[in-house]
Chain A
């Protein structure tokens, strides 16, 4: 996994790289929407637009050997952790060159080499495994951490509670990254959780350390993730990252969002993490246009790569069932 910084502060160069990465995710996701609507991508997809700073901030704080479990909204995590855009795009096209070789798809991106032990399409489904991996790291005394990404919707399912309890009880080398975008599919936070506006109360119930962070501020996310990872890595126990973020698009591509007010969507748009970082760094229009062109070029190339990829043979479906 690409290591950006060990220090607790980021220089402008690193932040520029974060901007480049976030922009790449944004353009990637926009392209995915476009190609899905054009009928080129099978299945159904969930894009990360609005939540790029969480993916980049957390993944760039991880170190070589750290692993993570992702969610149905997985593209950003995969890209930010170092999986080549070609491999992610090829997976979405169901090609052999895809990061899961066509077996997984959008909701099951894997890339073990970059620490990605799988995106999960069952809400909360990947959490217990992250506890188990963190337990293994502890038992073997390895300086590694297992990271779980999940949304606010996952905080109501049994695996979440059982996982937090066990992780804290056994002080596993685990961090829980709650991407609170205030929506469980179409159900708003206030309809699904009594503590929807302060998820750290969930961690409190398990006596777990929590850190609240603005998920639209990539620097803040990176710093919080650094803090959490070091805490867990040192064997001091798991940490709950309570990340406030915004889902700028629908739950899935094509979601008409009939359940969502114009005001709410406008509010999310006002919390664009890319605009925010751009302003902070004082990136000029020309410079931004150049970054944008670079990201767009990478994404276009990824689509070309994917379209020219190899289709699996039908009977390949019978491989990889057993080790």
Chain B
């Protein structure tokens, strides 16, 4: 339906016309996403599909949104959030001010999860969470803080499994099919665009989370992004990756010590 060569053509169009660089992405996944969109939108030919992406900025935005993976959930991997709650954040709680970067935040489910833990640890007032994504469309959704009511049972179970002890439903109000999360959880979240491929470090943090983003990058791009994180992390700060991601193959790994059994590393070098 769409060949490998055609994928390359589309990726170089995006870079040339819009400055979005997907050339360091693993191809099998992005090709699947492109073919999915192609058939979803009933494109009549590759030429027409390509022309539309090149000339219709509205469709271009849709294209970027659809070829990147934006699936996420609250308190995914409860064990990870438990370690955040019981080990990492209490350590950072001794600082006068906590800066956190959540890179690749998608529609914001993890950002609100972190807010909830910070609030329960009584740290929210002195924290700031920069939640970034390359995609402005998902950030708009994230800023609204509204998620499908149908997900709440699962999220509540995740929350409890991660060590949460409150009534999860106290954090949102039901609004027909949507759960609207409380304003106070939003107060310390800053949603902003940032492209890990092309943008630089913009601050120094004590905790950087980037989970299930690096899996879409090839090794070279992974190394580049891990260097960016290293440049953006204070000494003794923490870096958290997804459950199938690792720092092991990166040159920066020697500066880090891993928390046993978790994909969390502390910068010691």
Task: Say whether A and B bind each other.
Answer: no
Binding site for B on A (CB under 8 A): none
B contacts, CB < 8 Å to A: none
